Structure 1
């Protein structure tokens, strides 16, 4: 009886080791492909927020990891890319998060000039309600384009809100929380660039 139990235990152990080995092999084979897909997806989005700019992998080489929970929405570091033309700083691409979406975090990317003027913005990931909150996606609605060309000043700070709250931006019928969260996140990305001019000179530390 004991011998049979030991035999079964050894068989189960061997099977477990075999399964772990197979999973490890599959992970090694698929990880590069997943990484390539994520890179391609990020470059495609960068091409949208920086029209006319060659969004190649070299654009991602001049990258900073920045931790600022108040302005970037996470306790962990977010990526900030520096876009250059003829060797001169032409703008920043900020990855940021709206932590107060209706259904949780809304991850965004915002392109800005060195003075904080917004060139473009896109949603990277969210879990907002289909048919309501998902209008923050460019493929669902042109709403996300309403930030382009805007900046944040002392005079217009109160206008960075939905119209229902006295601001300049449309809300969605039945989904006011979602646009409020995105407006705040985009505004905060502009404030980050305005308030941290040292980002222009810090050595890159997260190149892909």
Structure 2
């Protein structure tokens, strides 16, 4: 009996040590790679900002020029929005807002939405999602050109009631075999335009305050966590 008890105790200790070593190895690997992963995501998302508003269209430091906009539960968890401002000669002509589409097929879809001062969409880019490869991932520019259909659109074109996928009687195409993903994106772009219209005066007043040149650059990755657009379920 003593020999059996000793054997059980020895096995338990061995398993415990194995678990500790394995857990430590995993934690160390994550610690060593996390910063690099976050830097890669931040760099990719920063490129998305300049994809929406190219560098030759503004003369300010876009990554440094940010403003805080009114909080809203329609576009995030009710926190104030941090937007990037594009200016020419200190005059704002566009902004890019990070928002979350909560109705994705596999979870939240994070977006960057660019608008001009008239409330017209300059561009939309996906920065994070877990939609199904081959179906919902067509919201990515490298998978299809669907996301470009928002450029030049506003609440006047089409009318708010037509801001829906065609399956729901709206003006926007859905994907074959995937309606939930494009519906979530269309709804969120529409809600962003509504938010801009409802807060237009406050936003305009806020945008006239140029950022300090000493401010640190801000990237989408530093505002909210999440998987990059290249990672899917």
Common fold by TM > 0.5: yes
Would the alpha carbon gap of residues 188 and 206 (structure 1) be closer, same or farther in structure 2, given more than 3 Å must change? farther
Alignment of 1:21-36 (within 5 A): 27=31, 33=36, 36=39
Asked if 1:92 is matched to 2:95, the reply is yes
Match of 2:54 in 1: 51
Match of 2:204 in 1: 200
Structure 1 SS opposite 2:50: helix
Structure 1 SS opposite 2:87: strand
Give 1:153 shift. 3.2
- Extract unaligned runs of 5+ from structure 1: 1-7
Write the distance in 2 (CA, Å) between the matches of 1:132 and 1:34: 26
Structure 2 SS opposite 1:43: helix
Write the distance in 1 (CA, Å) between the matches of 2:111 and 2:199: 19
Write the distance in 2 (CA, Å) between the matches of 1:158 and 1:58: 37
Contact kept in structure 1, 2:107 and 2:130, CA below 8 Å: yes
Contact kept in structure 1, 2:104 and 2:184, CA below 8 Å: yes
Asked if 1:83 is matched to 2:83, the reply is no
Structure 1 SS opposite 2:148: helix
Match of 1:4 in 2: none
Contact kept in structure 1, 2:60 and 2:90, CA below 8 Å: no
Give 1:146 shift. 0.4
Give 1:103 shift. 1.1
Structure 1 SS opposite 2:108: strand
Match of 1:107 in 2: 110
